[in-house]
A = this chain, B = another copy of it.
Amino acid sequence: VVVAVRLQDVAARAGVSVKTVSNVVNGYVHVRPGTRERVQAAIDELGYRPNLSARSLRSGRSGVIALAVPELDMPYFAELTRFVVQAADGHGLTVLVDQTDGLAERERLVMTGIRGHLIDGLVLSPVATDADELAAAAGQVPIVLLGEKVTQGPVDHVAIDNVAAARAATEHLLDAGCERVAALGDQPDSPQGSGVAALRRQGYEDALAGRGLPLDEGLVVPVDSYRREEGARAVARLLDDGEPPDGVFCFNDTLALGALRALADRGVRVPEDVAVIGVDDVEDGRYAVPSLSTMAPDKQQIASTAVQLLVDRMRGRRDAGPRDVAAGFELVVRESSRRGRPAEHATARA
């Protein structure tokens, strides 16, 4: 900052007091139109910009919220981030994006360290944090959780109904004529039993049970991460081990994309030999060859709801009980699981 233009300078220029300028800047209603105009003119001429640090120090609010996701370069989070930034913008809030790498330590830092009181609230997509820590942190700063559901957690939370979505995905494969549907993406060693992986596995099992089908543990493949390479590796394992599946429900699209690649490498035809579906409706999936069927969460709704919940908390609603919002989702059938009918162009939908 070369020249520091302060409220005071504007006041002098406009021939009013500091308070009046402050009122104008903050859109306070009771200012005479003429005064407002004069002040605004002074602001423009001087190029005044409020000093956020000072404002924050004084008011205790910064207008900045943090969004913490495991990995920014996972397409789902990248897309979601975009919507969160957009939603926050609508509330005049700035978003500080953080990457936790799914590490407990980094998630804790985001919650507690909280940038030295710089943050008014936090939207967190937790992977490794338990309910106790969450409760403790929520006392310090408003928090809204995304995606994972710490069993009846102590804080606000928005996510799709993962069990229902997983069940619908599996049933879609069954409806398409699959008889051996694999589930790809289990995380049995995850610290908490209620993460998305467990929920999606539950939905998968429910679907099988609903059709009177037995659960074959050999068809449930665990992964270390939700990246493409793990999807590819898991498929390789599946194909090498005994009787191969004729359908694969991947716990997210990224895994599915890796799976598609591995299937192609083996010369397995999709969807003829194996039908594939994922979750997330990531843009890559729409343009993959074959295009990827998926359970599409309403990302926009998730983002705007999360920000709204957070804003509510930030404005007073501090001690009210936690709210749980279920976002919508939708089955999108594309080439990877479409059997019998001629293929549509993925580009038609994009």
Contacts and interface: CB of A to CB of B under 8 A. Distances in A.
Most chain B beta-carbon neighbours within 10 Å: one of A62, A141, A257, A287: A287
A29 interface: no
Interface string A225-238: 00011001100000
Nearest to A4: B117
A116 B288 contact: no
Interface in A214-271: 228-229, 232-233, 257-258, 260-262, 264-265
B287 A55 contact: no
A259 to B, nearest CB: 10
A78 interface: yes
Interface stretch (A159-167, A185-193, A308-316, A342-350): A342-350
A149 B261 CA distance: 36
Contacts of A115: 52, 94
A347 B288 contact: no
Interface stretch (A10-18, A68-76, A195-203): A68-76
Interface string A136-159: 000111000000000000000000
B57 A54 contact: yes
Most chain B beta-carbon neighbours within 10 Å: one of A71, A264, A350: A264
Most chain B beta-carbon neighbours within 10 Å: one of A75, A97, A260: A97
A85 interface: yes
Contacts of A283: 73, 228
A263 B98 CA distance: 38
A320 to B, nearest CB: 16
Contacts of A90: none
Contacts of A232: 287, 347, 350
Nearest to A116: B52
A144 to B, nearest CB: 18
A71 B82 contact: yes
B289 A264 contact: yes
Given A53-B118, A82-B99, A115-B94, A257 B287 contact: yes
A81 B75 contact: no
A85 B72 CA distance: 10
Contacts of A291: 261
A57 B49 contact: no
Nearest to A283: B228
B347 A262 contact: yes
Given A1-B141, A232-B350, 16 more contacts: A49-B112, A51-B117, A52-B53, A52-B117, A57-B57, A72-B82, A72-B85, A73-B78, A73-B79, A73-B82, A94-B96, A228-B287, A261-B288, A264-B289, A265-B347, A289-B289
